Amino acid sequence: MKTVSKIVGAALDGVAGGLALAFILCVAVSVIAISTGSRATLPGLFTATRGAENGALALEFQPNFAGMVVVIALSVLVSVVMAVRRSTAESPDPR
């Protein structure tokens, strides 16, 4: 049961980490688009373009939710693999 809870905890950590990573990447692309005044793209994840609405600065963006799911899934996979390897490395060898 202890191993199952470690794996579930690692999966939840991976989801949180993947969401945070996807958010930070989207914010970075948005900042680049606003600061350069041109289109900024993170292929397969996010596209942002600086625009104007009634004379005010605007940000037009197109998220790719499939790409975000891939980022989150990879984060979960890495987190679970690390947890499983950590638990097998900590267990003592039988004598």
pLDDT in tens, 38-59: 999 999 999 999 998 998 999 9
For residue 66, what pLDDT is reported? 94
Q: Which class for 68: exposed (0-12), middle (13-18), buried (19 or more C-beta within 10 A)? A: buried
Q: Give 4-7's long-range contacts (Cβ < 8 A, gap of 24+).
A: 6/83, 6/84, 6/87, 7/80, 7/83, 7/84
For residue 25, the one-letter residue type is L
Task: Print the domain residue range for 69.
Answer: 2-20+31-90
For residue 3, what pLDDT is reported? 82
DSSP three-state, residue 53: strand
Q: Domain tally for the chain? A: 1
Residue 26, domain member (yes or no): no
Q: In tens digits, what is the pLDDT along the chain, a chain of 95 residues?
A: 688 888 999 999 999 999 999 999 999 999 999 999 899 999 999 999 999 899 899 999 999 999 999 999 999 999 999 998 886 656 566 66
The two three-digit tokens of residue 72, written as one number: 């989150």
